[in-house]
A and B are shown apart, each in its own frame.
Chain A
Amino acid sequence: MKLTTDQTFELSKLIQSVTDKDSLGCDGCSELMGEYADAMRSGIELGSALLAVNAHIEQCRCCKYEYRMLLIALEEVADL
């Protein structure tokens, strides 16, 4: 498979952004995402478990997208 220029640069971004600090994985992130969202929305300091969510979200495109959509949904019902 020949990568397009965009795909090549996407791959480079994936390499650049990766760290070995992600101990959580998608399942662990999923379990803590609600707690993480509440903490981020209320501006409270993150404990080590939620810092792990932060580290995962920074490296996982799919979880990051789910988190962004969750924030939009929560914002929409915040006044109810």
Chain B
Amino acid sequence: MNFLLEFHKFAVRSSKVTTSNRGTGGFSADSEEFPLDGLGDIWPDEARRRMRLNDSELYEAIRSGSELRDEAIAQLRELLIRGLSKALTGRYGKPFNAEDVAQETLMKVLNSIDQYSGRSKFVTWAMAIAIRIGISDLRKKYHADQSLDSFRTDDGAKIDITTTVTLTPGLEFSNREFAKLLQQLIDSELTEKQRVVVRAFLSDYSTDGIADGLGMTRNAIYKLLHDARLKLKTGLESHGYDSDDIASFLASGESIK
């Protein structure tokens, strides 16, 4: 850490040097000043890399407000932007601004740094927050273009599977029976709210998208969906259908696609 501090101080002093010869490693006194974040232009990559704080140093510098705090925040921001860009650019077919998400993440990290428990790496903790914010933003944009039909309840939140499945050529009789039983279970076992959640989920809504649509929490939506799935599975099992039978039904679907 002492080395880093000294190196940082040296970097700040050196950033006052002027150069017209960026990228060659040479100093010159006859041109413009350059900022600290331009060090990579004149210093070898190895020197720049050595100046980087490791994971625990990043955390300590940000938490304690040491002289390295600004550098630590800048470094974390750079990491977040790089990770976010790689992971989320082009997802959901929507534009994604990694810099905005990184900025929002930094605010959250700085405000909640006391909640970092140390059970994961600090950068992992921050990146998980960033990914969550980024995906949430993308999903909001994606859902804004989607139909709200699945949230309707004026049709009793009905889910009709038999029409589609029984008319599909190629299905064996047993699979038609399976679909018929599944329909009965959906009608008799699921609550209206569970059917709404299932419909929305099958219409490509995420759990947080459904939560926004219904004014509920993501956890509550997940529980409604999970319980609905369990009810249907238990119902099928009570009629003698096990996971292999469901797999067989799914396999028949593969053959007609």
Residues of A within 8 A of B (CB): 1-16, 18, 20, 22, 25-27, 30, 32-35, 37-38, 59-62, 65-66, 69-70, 72-77, 80
Contacts and interface: CB of A to CB of B under 8 A. Distances in A.
A64 to B, nearest CB: 11
A40 to B, nearest CB: 11
Interface residues of B, number: 65
B202 A66 contact: no
Contacts of B84: 73
B251 to A, nearest CB: 10
Interface stretch (B20-28, B32-40, B60-68, B118-126): B118-126
Given A26-B218, A30-B132, A80-B82, A3 B207 contact: no
Contacts of A38: 120-121, 124
A74 B83 contact: yes
Interface centre among A4, A7, A13 (most CB of B within 10 A): A7
Given A15-B246, A25-B223, A5 B199 contact: no
Contacts of B91: 69
B98 to A, nearest CB: 10
Contacts of A15: 182, 229, 232-233, 236, 246
B130 interface: yes
A3 B159 CA distance: 7
A43 B119 CA distance: 15
B83 A77 contact: yes
Contacts of B250: 9, 12-13, 16
Nearest to B167: A5
A5 B202 contact: no
B226 A26 contact: no
B219 A69 contact: no
